[in-house]
Structure 1
Amino acid sequence: MFGQSSIKGTVTEQATSIPLPGVNVVVKGTTNGAATDFDGQFTIDAEEGDILVFSYVGYQQLEITYTGQSQLNVELIEDAAQLDEVVIIGYGTTTKKDATGSVESITQEDFTKGNIVTAENLISGRVSGVTVNTSGAPGSGTQIRIRGGSSINGSNDPLIIIDGLPISNDGVTGSRGVLASINPSDIDSFSVLKDASATAIYGSRASNGVIIIVTKKGKSTFSATFDAQVSFGSLTDNIDVFTGDEYRALVESQPINGTTLDTSLLGFQGDNTINTDWQDQIFRNTVSTQYNASLQGSLFNALPARFSFGYTDQQGAVKTSEFNRRNLSLALNPSMFDDHLKISLNANLAFEDNRFADAGQIGAAMRYDPTKPVYDPSSPFGGYYQHRNGNIVANGTTNPLASLEQRNNTGDANRFYGNLNFDYKFHFLPELKAVINLGFDETKSKGYDVSDRLVPTTDTDQLFKGSYRENNQIRKNALLDGYLNYKKDFETFTGELTAGYSYQKFENSGINGRNVRDPLSVDDIYADPDVVLIGFFARANATFLDKYLVTLTYRRDGTSRFSKDNQWGNFPAAAVAWNMSEEDFLKDSNTFSNLKLRASYGITGQQSISQKDIFLNRYRAGRGDSQYQFGNSTISSLIASEINPDLKWEETKTFEVGVDYGLFDNALSGSLNYFNKNSDDLLFEAAVADGTNFSNSVIQNIGKLNIQGIEFAINADVIKKEDLTLNFNFNATFLNREMKELALDQDVRTGGIAGGTGNNIQIHREGEAPNSFYVFKQLYDNSGNPIEGAYADLNGDNVINDDDRYVKENPGANANFGFQSSLYYKNFDFAFNLRANVGNYVYNNVKSSKAQYELLQDNAVLGNIPKSVLETGFQRTADVIISDIYVENASFLRMDNLTLGYTFSDITKNSGSIRVWGGVQNVFTLTNYSGLDPEVTDNDSDLTLTQGIDNVVYPRPRTVLVGANFKF
């Protein structure tokens, strides 16, 4: 044809720069076409002005006008509308269109970007109804909640499944958490199952929702990637206490209840100019690195494979805190017998090394005398200054920096996990397939806790108290799943049946080593009873006319946790849906591209109790000095443990209605859900009559809890052009929690706090939210200043006592919000994500237990206090600790991550790319809460906190990141 030119080019995937074989290239309006080869290359003849159409399954079709160039390199964008069609669910898959339950799928393109060390942070703020809360400790475990959980004393953690293997939420000695050993860069997608219809197929473990993690698989097309990242962290805030000079002035002028403080305790060896910032001494700026490399391609031209290696080294903001992880993974995905047999092998090795810093020293640094030096050359305690009364430490207080640097608390956890999956489609009946999944997860850990021999003691007979402890633990998790799936399409009807069996066994054993420097201590060797879970499950899906959908699910579960009479539970669910957009009155609509109504009801269970609460008769070892002599031998004592043979499942009944929508060719899409969860037979630790058991409390089934809420999500492609795309995701969740019933209608006190002895600040009460704060109502003078120890007589009996306490708010947010946005302009990319909580309250235990003038001197030593004491003028802790003045609104808006990158493409003949990027993590937090962090968690292995109680939080650093991604 006159004027035609030969055009050569390469087609790659925009997200990865990987060449795409088999892409169709056609001159629009003609039969003139070509296809890309193995390297994504093509050759076609065309004239100037011709429109070239590039199309490939799973990618957006692209049209380019030919302007005479001889080389044309094209990038195709994944078609999210098509990719989102496939959704991973329990024991199978469905399509977005055919899903009757509340399921959200998050793929690589949607993952949160930034300094992602643990896997769960990839979806932080991305899914409505899901909160992910992490402390500032390196590699720390994360608290994940789906729709507020469902329990009180039982677990509120979701069931997490990795490549079909449900894992235990119980960690091991030496590890930061159950997901800390997983390399986030190996993860391909998350599916979050929220309602009973979606989760009931996991029965006894599904009350708190299910998160299904799918790792990356092998592919036939060769590609290689290498990612490198360096981050620099620094703290932006600390507890505001008095400087050395301010403290000296305060001590010299401030009497406590009429008693003047001992000013001779100020300074050191006559030096009254010392100004030590003890918080600055124990904190540091951090440098952390991450490296990940992967190779994928076809082995022997027949076996799709993927291999990856990851390395993470993260410093903690508290000195001596470290997290190091090495990961190896292998995925093999062969297909045989004309694709009738598909095999998937996933094998992962993780080596996690930790050094745990004693986070209690954060509080110690806040309190330590700022007029004292860090070091004392004459000190017998390793050269560190210590408060001394002769040769022993006065009042038991120690130099916080010395306490960190003279203790080496380390843990190593080596983990192997993976699965082998066989998926066979019968030749004689291709609608029927059989699936067998074998999974295994084993973690071996070892921990050492060594204190220097020069660590001081308060014992007058022993100057030093060095110690050495060694701990070992092994956790095993073995799985066998098998099921049959039959799916048949008829003219107006599609039916699918799934039925199967599951067997899973958990083992746990170890040694809590003795203190080898304590002659009375002994090794605690333990082997917990094995936990076996057996399940029979079935699901039926029916679709009529592509419009009307029904799903029925049933699971019967057995557990060895309970006695024979209570071992088995039944968990049914049902759901219906109506694809309104397939009806004639909407089918040709230019506005509604998708509109589906859903309703579901089901029952799920909860059986996660600690090993000590299992129903079996057990015995525990007595004290090391609790022995008796038999002949020439000494016999150690055994003590019977408490049991409850009547213990059984918690059950959660969930009702939900929802709508999934898509507008303007799915440029806007999302969902709106209302749910109502009622948990019965709550697993709850409650008192028993003296003499009726081997303890005064035992786990029982008492109480009812209701959680209801509304979820909303919207995804928007604001701009979608060849050189410019802009999208955002917004989600919101509104929750209401209420205790409906407690045993004998009695309140249950909870929420232990520092300051005084035996104080609790929270309560479970019928008609109120769990963990509500239970406080006295503070009285104020005419100037608006709080009057110390003066509280309102709420019951009017002219006596201020415990009966005058009232419920003031609770730690749970009334609303959670997430907002993410990504912008792509030519080779530039920009992304950020925001989170917000509204209506959550925190009890500021730092102020309530430490911001009183009496704490300036504790017998023979002086101690610092927060400057907030100037706001109240409070003298004595005991008089004010239950005041509602310390219950603060902790609503916040937080920007977690911000990244900016630029991609250099076509750097090799195979169209490889290099993306360089920078970013900031923990960009800002807007809140009226006066403490360090409005998000208080109880999940960090370094520090145990009660929900909603701030008693010194491990601070989150602000981190600046730089990185590069190489793809070939």
Structure 2
Amino acid sequence: MKTIINAILFSLLFVPTILEAQTNLKGTVTEQSTSLPIPAVNVLIKGTNAGTATDFDGEYQIEVNNGDVLQFSFIGYKSQEIIYSGQAVLDVVLEEDTSQLSEIVLIGYGSTTKKDATGSVESVTSEDFTRGNIVTPENLLSGRVAGVSINTSGSPGSGSEIRIRGGSSINASNNPLIIIDGLPIDNNGVNGSNGILATINPNDIESFSVLKDASSTAIYGSRASNGVIIIVTKKGKATFSATYDTQYSFGELTDRIGVFSGDEFRQLIASQPINGSTLNESLLGSASTDWQDEIFRNTVSSLHNVSMQGSLFKAIPARFSFGTTNQEGALITSEFERRNLGVALNPTLLDNHLKINLNANLAFEDNRFGDTGQIGAALGYDPTHPVYDPSSPFGGFYQHRNGSLLSNGTTNPVASLLQRENYGDANRSYGNLNFDYKFHFLPELRAVVNIGYDETESKSIDYTSTLVATNDPVKGNSSLGFQKRTNKSLDGYLNYTDEFGNIRTELMTGYSYQKFTNNGGNTGNQRDSASFPSTFADPDVVLIGFFGRANFTLQDKYLLTLTYRRDGTSRFSETNRWGNFPAAAFAWNMSDEDFLKDNNTISNLKLRVGYGITGQQDISGNNDIFLNRYRGGDQNSQYQFDNQVIESLIASEINPDLKWEETSTIEFGIDYGLFNDRISGSLNFFQKNSTDLLFTASVADGTNFSNSIIQNIGELQIQGIEFSANTDVVKNEDLDINFNFNATFLNREIKKLALGQDVRTGGIAGGTGNNIQLLREGEAPNSFSVFKQLYDTSGNPIEGAYADLNGDNIINDDDRYLKENPNADVILGFQSNINYKNLDLSFNLRANIGNYAYNNANSSRAQYERILDNSVLANLPTSVLNTTFQRTSDVIISDIYLEDASFLKLDNITLGYTFNNVSKSLKSIRLWGGVQNVFTITNYSGLDPEVFGGIDNLIYPRPRTILTGANFKF
């Protein structure tokens, strides 16, 4: 008994020590700038695995010992270390660290820091987005990232041609894979919509991560050959805040294609014989109409966005957003309108072990499409006649006519626009539900499940007035169309992260499933008894993937990433259905070595090397080409058996041997930082080889049910160099000046085509069946194939006279030669942000060097014979005066129409001023103004040198736009 009492008394001596060593510490973590609490801050005891996280009110509770070092960290804020000295309450204030935000980059199925990245990955956050009249989200990246080019037309709400490192294919898709909050979206849009990105509100986007090399993209396997763009939308926060953004823009076309005025045209008709005959001057009128002015207009557009974020029920961080966009097109009947609703819920449960992210979005897109063919009609319509004619039986519009009948020739372009109502409505719902669970019994292991859904339904109406100019008894068109696309995805993966001595290890393995459906139909022309309704239902496309990744980091200096993905697609037969896509990358943080660690000049230096293989199976419209398929014949392909009419079945083309197009990429890269990262950037050297190209090519007669089918032929090689530099020229409390410069050098070459055959491509207007581009081994894709123009002693071109390049004394297609191609050799981007106290100025410059454009507007119109438009007269481009060419067919393939389209563009310039602490509830107001499409410096003679595919047949012009707006933060 005495022994027990002595033991109890001895133990009581240690009670104070135990109580002192195990204090229950409480506190609150707040943000320095707003004094608002910060949820989910990591609170760790240094050197141990013990820790916790703040709740939704920023409060934490942890058992600590006297002398423990507490670490407080949260992404986007500077970490703090505090030695515990016995207090019962410890409140901590964290300072925002904007530089740290840019260090976080998203990679496939996870994230990393720029220091730990082994592949070519670039992140652009909302602070660095390109500013201006941004209607679709991809333009936030325009000119910002080396190797990424974005070409958008002037049509309202139009989609863009996005290319990362020049794409990877010739005939198959060159569009990058776009992922929104973990949901890979379809590259195909629906009828009635402007494209897959037209329904997304740029104001909801938080950041982009661009994955460019195969070592970083291979984790996405079958859809990653053209690079990957990961979009992260804005999430909810526990503290309440609200913003309202408003913007108005006023657009004007500043240039026109030169044509003859009314007086000039009358003079031309009086003086210019065609084929030796004088022209009928009685067809001329007395007016002077600029038809380009009549079909184009000055535009007024607006954007409004409201967002609110805060905590629902004091437990669920949430964000709500609503936006409207109304954009007028320069063409008088084109307009784009969009309404967006977005909800984000981001609760954390089970003692911060389970994170849930729910993103739900609704978009309503309304379009009126203007007929861009009327741009060409406006160039050619007789300028001596007025727009309106009260005596006209065609709705009061002037039309060339013979009595009450329409004359054979081009019709009034203003009437053609105003008398047609071509509408499209697309309603889209998309989003994802993400569960991220850190196991209680093994916190190093996480399980992540992401469920995504994307559905778009569209309706289209194409209606023309019954007074439309036609002699056809069927007066115009009245048709309805509908379409529905769905995209369902399920991803799940396990991620294990731990340290073993000085080796940090991350292992990840997972599964991916995605299904695409597409169906629709059309009523046909309801005014035409010979027109019938039609429907379609494409075969479903299913993609299945198994993937894994291993990251090893030794001493924070040596990094190794190994990736593997095995993908299956329903587009190929069972024999060729599966593809394997491995990748490996190694990086060395040289700046952490002893010989550079204390260097005052080099603050960061990392060497990278990577290799990987990615796949391509996107052959839109051929989802089941490996199957025996039959289609029903029309009413002209029926046959009669006894008294019964039997509908015929017609076999479709088939290729059961079709397989994956594969792209292998090798890259060497350097990431650098100088003078404490005041100057930072990267230098990359890469080579991409795409083999077994998916290509529509001819087959021998009688060997298939078509004269051309999708095949695997050829090889394409793209070599390139990328350089980027980010510079903080001045950075102090009052003045911040930074510059971003990026340059990309690209060389493309077709290494192999089936049987070494040339393939003509690039159809052009003018004549019948003419092509201006060629695919040939040893040359760049889509190189221009032209005749070499001959000139007289005065330097004037001789019509129809070309060099006999093969010396056979015959001028034919064998004398055409390859001259340049539409792709730029060098792509440059330059941006700057300048902030002086509350004043901010930003601008964005872009340049392309070495790209060529074929001026099809001149080659198909600027010849004197085009004055005769069937039974009426037509205007001409004034460029005909430079050549005096007579016949289109004689000159259309001449290299005189191939022009250097290199350019320098100032895309936008924006000036703003911010008023802070306006009232107790209104934190700030920023007022700003700017100009979009400020100027273009080029030698190209057309309206715009930035042409899709390099063939300029009257693109939708891009207006210069004056912008003004305001941003309110509450």
Work out whether the TM-score is over 0.5: yes
Aligned partner (choices 453, 475, 478) of residue 465 of structure 1: 475
Separation in 2, partners of 1:131, 1:442: 28
Aligned residue number for residue 965 of structure 1: 967
Match of 1:152, as an amino acid? I
Shift of 1:664: 1.1
Cα distance change, pair 624–665 in 1 and its aligned pair in 2 (3 A): farther
Matched-pair contact (CA < 8 Å) for 1:396–1:458? no
Aligned residue number for residue 249 of structure 1: 267
Shift of 1:61: 10
Counterpart check, 1:285 vs 2:302 = no
Separation in 2, partners of 1:331, 1:229: 24
Counterpart check, 1:82 vs 2:97 = no
Aligned partner (choices 901, 904, 914) of residue 903 of structure 1: 914
SS in 1 for 2:860: helix
Cα distance change, pair 929–624 in 1 and its aligned pair in 2 (3 A): farther
Structure 2, unaligned runs of 5 or more: 1-28, 42-53, 59-71, 81-92
Aligned partner (choices 840, 844, 851) of residue 833 of structure 1: 844
Cα distance change, pair 621–407 in 1 and its aligned pair in 2 (3 A): farther
Match of 2:460, as an amino acid? G
Counterpart check, 1:924 vs 2:935 = yes
Cα distance change, pair 251–106 in 1 and its aligned pair in 2 (3 A): same
Separation in 2, partners of 1:674, 1:818: 18
Aligned residue number for residue 490 of structure 1: 500
User: 1:309-359 deviations in whole A, cap 9, x for unaligned?
Assistant: 000000000011010000000000000111100000000000000000100
Separation in 2, partners of 1:952, 1:119: 25
Matched-pair contact (CA < 8 Å) for 2:513–2:545? yes
Separation in 1, partners of 2:699, 2:95: 63
- Summarize the alignment of residues 283-682 of structure 1 with structure 2, pairs less than 5 Å apart: 283-459=296-472, 462=473, 465-612=475-622, 614-615=624-625, 616-628=627-639, 636-682=647-693
Cα distance change, pair 502–518 in 1 and its aligned pair in 2 (3 A): same
Separation in 1, partners of 2:589, 2:125: 24
Separation in 2, partners of 1:704, 1:390: 60
Q: For structure 1, which segment, 448-457 or 672-681, has the greater mean C-alpha deviation from structure 2 after superposition?
A: 448-457
Match of 1:700, as an amino acid? Q
- Summarize the alignment of residues 125-164 of structure 1 with structure 2, pairs less than 5 Å apart: 125-164=143-182
The Cα RMSD (Å) is 2.2
Shift of 1:391: 3.2
User: 1:628-682 deviations in whole A, cap 9, x for unaligned?
Assistant: 5578775554432212111111000100000001111111110000000000000
Matched-pair contact (CA < 8 Å) for 1:192–1:210? yes
Matched-pair contact (CA < 8 Å) for 2:719–2:747? yes
Match of 1:104, as an amino acid? E
Shift of 1:491: 2.5
Report the TM-score when normalising by structure 2. Answer: 0.91
User: 1:595-647 deviations in whole A, cap 9, x for unaligned?
Assistant: 10000011001000022363233333433554455787755544322121111
Structure possessing the higher relative contact order (Cα contacts under 8 Å, 6 or more residues apart): 1
SS in 2 for 1:347: strand
SS in 2 for 1:255: coil
User: 1:801-848 deviations in whole A, cap 9, x for unaligned?
Assistant: 111110000000000000000011111111000000000000000000
Match of 1:959, as an amino acid? T
Separation in 1, partners of 2:32, 2:422: 47
Match of 1:579, as an amino acid? N
Match of 1:350, as an amino acid? A
Report the TM-score when normalising by structure 1. Answer: 0.91
Separation in 1, partners of 2:422, 2:401: 26
SS in 1 for 2:193: coil
User: 1:96-118 deviations in whole A, cap 9, x for unaligned?
Assistant: 11100000000001100111100
Match of 1:519, as an amino acid? S
Matched-pair contact (CA < 8 Å) for 2:852–2:950? yes
Aligned partner (choices 239, 245, 258) of residue 240 of structure 1: 258
Matched-pair contact (CA < 8 Å) for 1:415–1:443? yes
SS in 2 for 1:803: helix
Separation in 2, partners of 1:56, 1:164: 22
Shift of 1:260: 1.3
Matched-pair contact (CA < 8 Å) for 1:19–1:910? no
Matched-pair contact (CA < 8 Å) for 1:453–1:465? yes
Aligned partner (choices 825, 844, 851) of residue 862 of structure 2: 851
Match of 2:443, as an amino acid? P
Match of 1:520, as an amino acid? A
Aligned residue number for residue 181 of structure 1: 199
Cα distance change, pair 423–206 in 1 and its aligned pair in 2 (3 A): same
Q: For structure 1, which segment, 243-252 or 624-633, has the greater mean C-alpha deviation from structure 2 after superposition?
A: 624-633
Aligned residue number for residue 785 of structure 1: 796
Shift of 1:38: 11
Q: For structure 1, which segment, 307-316 or 855-864, has the greater mean C-alpha deviation from structure 2 after superposition?
A: 855-864
Shift of 1:513: 2.4
Q: Whose Rg is larger?
A: 2
Shift of 1:77: 8.5
Counterpart check, 1:709 vs 2:727 = no
Matched-pair contact (CA < 8 Å) for 1:613–1:698? no
Separation in 1, partners of 2:283, 2:237: 71
SS in 2 for 1:587: coil
Shift of 1:441: 0.2
Separation in 2, partners of 1:400, 1:609: 37
Separation in 2, partners of 1:609, 1:873: 45
Separation in 2, partners of 1:151, 1:513: 36
Cα distance change, pair 911–291 in 1 and its aligned pair in 2 (3 A): closer
Separation in 1, partners of 2:782, 2:815: 18
Separation in 2, partners of 1:521, 1:627: 17
Matched-pair contact (CA < 8 Å) for 2:409–2:871? no
Separation in 2, partners of 1:635, 1:402: 45
- Summarize the alignment of residues 871-886 of structure 1 with structure 2, pairs less than 5 Å apart: 871-886=882-897
Cα distance change, pair 911–324 in 1 and its aligned pair in 2 (3 A): closer
Shift of 1:458: 3.9
Cα distance change, pair 55–560 in 1 and its aligned pair in 2 (3 A): closer
Aligned residue number for residue 49 of structure 1: none
Matched-pair contact (CA < 8 Å) for 2:31–2:96? no
Aligned residue number for residue 68 of structure 1: none
Separation in 1, partners of 2:368, 2:219: 40
Match of 2:244, as an amino acid? F
Aligned residue number for residue 215 of structure 1: 233
Match of 1:485, as an amino acid? N
Aligned residue number for residue 50 of structure 2: none
Structure 1, unaligned runs of 5 or more: 1-9, 25-35, 41-53, 63-74, 938-946
Separation in 1, partners of 2:581, 2:624: 22
Separation in 1, partners of 2:55, 2:839: 29
SS in 1 for 2:377: helix
SS in 2 for 1:854: helix
Separation in 2, partners of 1:851, 1:92: 56
Matched-pair contact (CA < 8 Å) for 1:87–1:95? yes
SS in 1 for 2:596: helix
Shift of 1:498: 0.5
Aligned residue number for residue 796 of structure 1: 807
Separation in 1, partners of 2:959, 2:639: 54
Match of 1:694, as an amino acid? F
